[in-house]
Structure 1
Amino acid sequence: MQRPAFDPTAEEVARRVLADIRKHGDKAVQKYTKEFNGINLPPAKFAVPREERLAASASMDLLFKRTASEIFARVVRFGKASMRKDWSMATPKGGVLGEKFTPLARVGAYIPGGAAPLASTALMSVALAKIAGVPEIVACTPCDKKGQVNPYLLHALEVAGATEVYRIGGIQAIGAMAYGTAHIGKVQKIVGPGGPYVTAAKKLVYGDVDLDMVAGPSEIAVLADETAVPAHIAADLISQLEHGTGHEKALFVTPYMSLANKVLAEMERQIASLSRCESITKAAASGALFVVTDNLDTGMEVINRFAPEHFEIMTKEPRRWLQKVKNAGAVFVGAWTPESAGDFVAGPSHVLPTGGTAAFFSGLTVDSFRKRSSVIAFTRADLIETLPLIEEMGRVEGLDGHARAARIRFENPS
C-alpha cells in the first residue's frame, strides 16, 4: 500500500544533473540531452520555431484537428467554471476585505514524450495557463533522435496556447526552466507529469520555482461489487499500466473473491492482445495489487489509505460511496465513466497527484496558474475599533513598532 513518491536513485541522479545545469546552463543541457536522449542538440536548436509548429498543424488530419479542438473546448468550459473569482466583504465599520487573483507572468509545462506523445497532457496543462491569463507559457518535451517533436503533440500545444516550445526533456528540461539558461528563460512555476527522474527533479527545484504537485508514474484504484463487469475493470486497470515507465500502480479492491479471479483472468487475456503487451506485463508484475476485503466499507478504507491518482467506483450505488472518498486525485463515478474519459476528454485536468500524495495534494486547475492576494481597506472607524487589539498584540509579541504604526494615525502631527 505504501509506495515512495520519489525514487532515491532518481533523486541522486537529478541532484547531480541539476547542479551542473545551474552552473553551466545551455552547455549542460546539451550534454545531458546527448547522454540521456541520444542526440547532440546545439542550444540554437533547443526551441521549436513557430514555423515548424504551424507546419505540424498543417500536416494534421482533419479528425485529429477536430478531436483536439473539441477537447480544448471542454477543458476551457470546465476551467472557466471552476475559476475562483475576486470577492469582497464589508468590515464592521464600512471598510472592505477581500481577495484578488492575478495570473503568473511566465510558467513552464513539462509534456512527457517518451513512450507516448501525450498530446492530451498539452491540452490539459497548457490550456489552463491560457485560461488563467498567463502571457508566457513555455512547454518542454523530448524530441526523437532526429531532433523531431511528434507533430500531434506540436499541434496540441498550438491549440492549447503555448507561446514557446523546446525540444528538451527529462531532468535537463526541469533544470533549464527552473534556473534559466541563455536560450531558455526562467519560469515562475513548473507543472506537468513525468517519470521518476522528472518527478525527482521537480522536487529538487522547489523554492527556485513553484510546483504544481508530485505528478509521477500513473496509478489507478478500483472499488467494485458484484454488479461490475470484470472485462471493464480489467480494461481500466490495464489503461494505467500501459504508460510505459514500469513504475505504474493498479489497485483492485472488492469483497468478492470470485470477481477478483475473473478480473485477473480478463487482464491476462486483454494484455496479450495489446500493442504494449511486454511493458504492460512488466508493470503489472510489480505494480498490480488485488485486495479482497470483508465488505465495501473496509474496501473504501483501503482506497483512502492508498490515496490514488485515479479512483473508479464501480458499484450498485456509486454516488453513495462518493461521499466516503477522502483521498483521491480524481474520482470516476459509475460504470459509464472509464478512467480514459478523464485522461482524454471530460474536462478536468488529468495532471493529478501520485505516490500517495493525493492525501494532501490536489490536481492541476486554472487557479494553479494564479496568485492570490488579500485585500484590506480599513476606514478610520475600523482602525479606531481595532486599535486596542493591535496594541495588545504588539505588547505581547514585543513589537511596539507595530502598535505605534496604528496609534500614530490618531496623534496630532508634530
Structure 2
Amino acid sequence: MADLGETVDLDEFADGARSFYADPYPVYDALRRRGALHHVRTPGPGPREELWLIVGHEASRAAFTDPRLVKSPPWGFDDALIGRHLLFADPPEHGRLRSLVTREFTPRRVAGLAPRIQKITDELLDDMVPRGSADLIAVLAFPLPLIVICELLGVPDIDRERFRRMSTQVVAPTSVDEESSVYVELAEFLDALIEDKRASDPADDLLSALIRTTAEDGDRLSPDELRAMAFLLLVAGHETTVNLIGNGVRALLSHPEQLAALRADMSLLDGAVEEMLRYDGPVETATHRFAAEPVEIDGRVIPAGAPVLIGIGSADRDPGRFAEPDRFDIRRDARGHMAFGHGIHFCLGAPLARIEGRTAIRSLLTRCPGLTLSDAPNAWLPGLLMRGTRTLPVHW
C-alpha cells in the first residue's frame, strides 16, 4: 500500500476564528499551494471519513475524465434500498442509463417549463413580499425547485417539511443512523409512487414517460433503476438549485456594488448566475469516486480501492484559472467553472437549474428593491457535498 503521508484534518486546518463550513476557501487555497492531492479527514459534525481530496482546476478537470477513478466501489455497491443510478454507474452501464433518461428529459421539455417556473416564482413572492422579512430559503429557494421537480415528475402534493428533512439528511447527513432511516423512508415513498403511476392512466409527466420509454433495441429501465432514477431526479433535482439561489443571493447582498450593477442592467443576469456558480457554487465536492488501481497525481499515489473526492469549490477558486478568484464579479467571464461537474457525469439538470436560478433572482430583485441581509447567524450545511446554509434571513 502506498504511503499516505500526512493526513490533513480539515477541522484543525481551518482558521479557529471561523469554522471550515463558514469559509472553506482559505483551506483549499492553502492545500493547493502544497499540491494537487491530499489525504484528508473530513470535518464534523456527522460521519467523518479519511479519503483523498483533489484540489485545483487543472487536476480536478483531469480527474473528472480519468477512467481509473470510477463511481462503482471495487468491492461492489449495496443498492438494495434505492438502486443504482447515474452517480454510481460507470461505462457502459452509465451510457445506457443516461441515454434512456435523456430520451425523455429533453432540452425541449425543460425549456417548456419556463412559463410555469415564472408563475410559481410569482406566487411565492406574492405571499412573501407583504411580510417585509423572511427566511429566503424557506419561502423561495426551497419551495420553488421542489414544486418544479415534483410537477415535472408528476409527484402529487407532498409534505414539504417532511421531504425537506429527508432530502437534507441525504445530502448533508448529521448521523449514520439518521441517514440510513431516511433512505428506507425514501425507498418506500418512491416504490409507492411508481406503483401508483403504473396503475394509473398514462400521463404526460417525466416519471410516467420513464416508465414507458423503450430504446430502439427494446431496452427499458428496470423497477430498481426506475426507483433510483426517481430518487436522483427528485433529490438532486432540487437540492442544488436551493443552494444556487441561496448562495447567489447571499453573494449579491454581500457585494453592494455588484448588486447595484445588476439592478441597473439586467442583461448581466446570465453572466451573474454563472459567476454565482463559480464563486460559491451549490456543490462543494463531487460525489465519491474510487481508485480502480493505484493512481499517481502530483507525486502522490492514491491506493487501489481508496475513496476520492474532486474539489469543485477549490477548482473554481484557483488563481491559475480565474484571476483574483476570491473577488465576486458579475462581469467576469466565468466559463470553465465546474459547478455542474465535467465529463460524462456532467449534471443532467444544469439547464433546469439555470432557468430556475435566473427566474428566481430576477423576480426577487424586481419585487424587493430594498433587499438586504439580516444579522441572524447562518447554520451551514455539514459535510463536503453541498455548500449552503439552512436559513437565509433577509428583509426589504
TM-score (normalised: structure 1): 0.23
Over alpha carbons, which structure has the higher Rg?
1
- With a CA cutoff of 8 Å and minimum separation of 6, indicate the structure with the bigger relative contact order: 2
TM-score (normalised: structure 2): 0.24
More strand by share: 1
